[in-house]
Amino acid sequence: MTATSRFEIFIFFVLTIVAEILGTLGGFGSSLFFVPISQFFFDFQTALALTGLLHVFSNTAKVALFLKTIDWKVVWWLGGSSIVLAIAGAYLTKFVLLDFAGLALGVFLIVFSTFLFFNPEFSIAPTAKNSVLSGGVAGFLAGFIGTGGAVRGLALASFNLEKSFFVGTSAAIDFGVDLSRTFIYYENNYFSNIRVLYVPLLLIAAAVGSYFGKRILDKIDQAKFKKITMGLIFLTGVVLVVQYARIFFG
């Protein structure tokens, strides 16, 4: 292994930890940051595989850290539809890459996160219907373009969950979604370009990032947490618009 290769791996590892910390603070996972980061080092399909694997590790850590603050009713309704449509979205990546979906999602996230930022009192009842619909959209996008947690984050923010319940519930849902889509990516042979070295690196980054993210989260009050969440979702939208606009208009 050359010095350049070792340096690239180190940078990748550090950026993964940072993505994981920010993803924990936002409550909707690190894919917002990790998907574009990993595409500097790998092709899109490999980036999807790495994202799925990282999220399995990180959500295992988050479920353990936030186990007592998980709303299992929301997990059941929102998570069930997320898992089913995540599998569908992951299968679809083998046949089509719909760039417009990522662009449209980015615009939607920018608009709705801005609305919630300036209207913090707005809420949506966490009914079975609302949970199933938002979970299905989030799951499909997670499987199809690699990041759907921001949609789930918007739904959970609209439900006005307390910050620890927000993060714990989101992690429990995300675990099922990412475990499902990771199996599909494996079947599609997306792991073929991943060196074994990256597996323990992702595991360590997930544990370290989740731990420090929780430590920071404990020091943030509820109002500030919601603003941080909306800010990160807004940033998700900007990243997606820039990323997919380049591809779509390219």
pLDDT tens-digit map of 99-134: 666 677 778 778 877 887 887 777 667 677 877 887
Query: Count H helices, E strands: the chain?
Result: 10, 0
Half-sphere exposure of 1 (CA within 13 A, CB side): 8
State the Cα–Cα distance between residues 120 and 117, nearest whole angstrom: 6
| pLDDT tens, position by position, 197-232 | 888 899 999 999 989 988 888 888 877 877 887 887
| Nearest in space to 197 (alpha carbons), one of 49, 46, 9 | 9
End-to-end CA distance of the chain: 35
State the Cα–Cα distance between residues 209 and 18, nearest whole angstrom: 7
Overall pTM surpassing 0.85 (yes/no): no
| pLDDT tens, position by position, 125-163 | 767 787 788 778 877 877 776 666 667 777 777 777 778
State the Cα–Cα distance between residues 104 and 96, nearest whole angstrom: 16
Residue 75, both tokens: 């997990």
